[in-house]
Amino acid sequence: MRETAFAKINLALHVRGRRGDGYHELETLFAFVDEGDILAARVAERDALTTLGEFAEGLDPFDNLVAKALAVLPRPGGLAITLEKNLPVAAGLGGGSADAGAVFRLVRERYGLPEGWRKRAAKLGADVPACVESVTAIGRGTGTELERADDSLAGTPVLLINPRRPLATGPVFAGWDGVDRGPLPDGDARTIALQGRNDLQSIAIALCPVIAEVLGALRDTTPWLARMSGSGATCFALYGHEGARDTAARFMQAQRPDWWQMTGRLR
């Protein structure tokens, strides 16, 4: 069995308030790129995990969401999973959550999912329920209250750029000033993306200034939208056609070969 852990991006991310449990009230528009980590699985006597790929060394073996996802999903047999880690770690792409979401899909394909699987997914991380479905959706609350959004952006060419600087989520959220700047706008997914914002972007730039350089470089390639994803440091750009995206990718590679990049389409 084989699954792609689709890279998650936040087309808009509005922070609305702090909660007593340490989390934040959010409104976000999730979207997913048709590329990401790759999970291959086979039936085995017991669960097992092997990691490889460019970013495998950045994974914490004691805090791996693939293993945690396997642990919360009862099954009559084990799964031996090989994870090809293509997405950078601590990058605002929900890489660990996407990996967990892919595990849920693998288990669903082989055994079916137990009742209450969404609660099991949410306990692993606020992005995990969205990553299980990996479709454009509006997330509220901590991001676990999902509402399916329209798929009008499906097929949109996207370029992801990360400066190879990990950025932990905690310090970025801790820097939020507590000001509620308003809800997501109404409209289709394109309207929400264009009129929305990422309330964490300026905080992340203060902690990791190279993000501003990434955004400036992306905007120079004339996408119809360039923004930071999640709590950073990955930024994305959306284009009207593949030719514009591919030209931008070649330009970015020539200018900054040290930056990580990935091209794809929104699902």
- Amino acid of residue 90: A
Instruction: Inform me whether the pLDDT recorded for 62 exceeds 80.
Output: no
The b/e string for 54-65 (b: 16+ C-beta within 10 A; e otherwise) is ebeeebeeeebb
Per DSSP, the residues of 91-126 read SSS-HHHHHHHHHHHHHHHHT-PPTTHHHHHHHH-T
Q: What percent of the chain has pLDDT over 90?
A: 97
pLDDT digits (tens, 9 = 90+) for 74-121: 999 999 999 999 999 999 999 999 999 999 999 999 999 999 999 999
Is 8 a catalytic site residue? yes
pLDDT digits (tens, 9 = 90+) for 141-176: 999 999 999 999 999 999 999 999 999 999 999 999
Q: Which of 8, 37, 68, 99 is catalytic?
A: 8
Mean pLDDT of 217-241: 98
Using only C-alpha atoms, the chain has a radius of gyration, in whole angstroms, of: 18
* pTM score: 0.96
Kindly indicate the confidence band of residue 60, based on its pLDDT and cuts at 50, 70 and 90. confident
Q: Are 127 and 4 in contact (CB under 8 A)?
A: no
Q: How far apart are CA 141 and CA 220, in angstroms?
A: 35
| pLDDT confidence of residue 152 | 95
Complete domains list, the chain, with CATH? 2-148 (3.30.230.10), 157-265 (3.30.70.890)
Question: Rounded to whole angstroms, what are the CA distances from 25 to 21, 171, 188, 193?
Answer: 11, 16, 22, 19
Q: What percent of the chain has pLDDT over 70?
A: 100
Q: How far apart are CA 226 and CA 167, in angstroms?
A: 19
Average pLDDT, the chain: 97
Per DSSP, the residues of 220-252 read TT--SEEEE-TTSS-EEEE-SSHHHHHHHHHHH
Instruction: Inform me whether the pLDDT recorded for 22 exceeds 90.
Output: no
Instruction: Inform me whether the pLDDT recorded for 36 exceeds 90.
Output: yes
Is 21 a catalytic site residue? no
Q: Are 31 and 153 in contact (CB under 8 A)?
A: yes
Mean pLDDT of 177-206: 98
| pLDDT confidence of residue 195 | 98
Instruction: Inform me whether the pLDDT recorded for 240 exceeds 80.
Output: yes
Q: Which of 68, 127, 150, 180 is catalytic?
A: 127
Q: How far apart are CA 107 and CA 69, in angstroms?
A: 10
| pLDDT confidence of residue 182 | 98
Instruction: Inform me whether the pLDDT recorded for 61 exceeds 80.
Output: no
